[in-house]
Amino acid sequence: MKVIAIDPVRPDETILQAAADIIRDGGLVAFPTETVYGIGADGTNPAAIRRIYEAKGRPESKPILVLVSDRQDLDRLVRCIPSRVHALMDACWPGPLTLVLPALENVPRELLGEGTTIGVRHSGAAIAGTLCRAVGGPVTAPSANRSGEPEPLTAEDVAVQLGDGVDLILDGGRSPSDQPSTVVDVSTGTPRLIRAGCTPYDRVADAWRQ
């Protein structure tokens, strides 16, 4: 496990390109987001995604969210987007809001747990966004901790909890928040709060009504 310091505001693209190479090769990279540190793997690689479950000690029944760098990336993941969901994206993306949508049949089952939906998020963090673009596809971003343990707010937290379970930790300093992203299921066309987090649910509800 290697740790590399990186500026969270103006990240070195050479460092992120090297991290992207690790991810494309099936490796795991922990990195900071606008919430807590996440674990990045190739969202199209079932073997890499299974490594996340092993590293976290996570039950395989629980799904794993992915980050996208552009809404067009959703075409590779999502079967349909209810029309009013676009208003939520306009109001809250990029940002710490994960939307749960119907998954395409060819999406790796490892991302979905035991369900048929997928959680997707367009992160507003410079490191996360640039990393996704460098990878050229969806990148996973569950929290970089052991399941049931405290949220990882620093690279040191990740190293203590996951150790050699990840190949690289990008140290961007302390997380700006101690909360994960808000998760809202919109797969049926009506928003349902799954997990409270950084984005207030009132903001989601207001955007939906408008």
* Higher per-residue confidence, 84 vs 41: 41
Tokens at 156, concatenated? 């040191």
Residue with tokens 């300093």: 173
The rounded distance, in Å, linking the Cα atoms of 118 and 157 is: 27
Residue with tokens 């990148």: 139
pLDDT above 90: residue 14: yes
- Percentage of residues in the chain with pLDDT exceeding 90? 92
Q: In whole numbers, what is the pLDDT of the chain averaged over residues?
A: 95
Give residue 142's domain range: 2-209
User: What is the average pLDDT across 181-210?
Assistant: 93
The rounded distance, in Å, linking the Cα atoms of 202 and 210 is: 12
* Higher per-residue confidence, 191 vs 82: 191
The CATH number linked to 32 is 3.90.870.10
Which of the four pLDDT bands, split at 50, 70 and 90, describes residue 209? confident
pTM assigned to the model: 0.94
- Percentage of residues in the chain with pLDDT exceeding 70? 100
Residues 6+ apart with CB under 8 A from 82: 186, 189
- Report pLDDT for 109: 95
Look up residue 20 and give its amino acid. A
What confidence tens digit (pLDDT) does each residue in 80-90 have? 998 889 989 99
Look up residue 7 and give its amino acid. D
User: In the chain, how many domains are there?
Assistant: 1
Q: How many CA atoms lie within 13 A of 197 on its CB side?
A: 22
Three-state DSSP class for residue 164: helix
Strands 139-140, 2-5: pairing is unpaired
Q: 47-53: list long-range contacts, CB under 8 Å, 24+ apart.
A: 48/23, 49/108, 49/110, 49/111, 49/140, 50/110, 51/26, 51/165, 52/28, 52/140, 52/142, 53/110
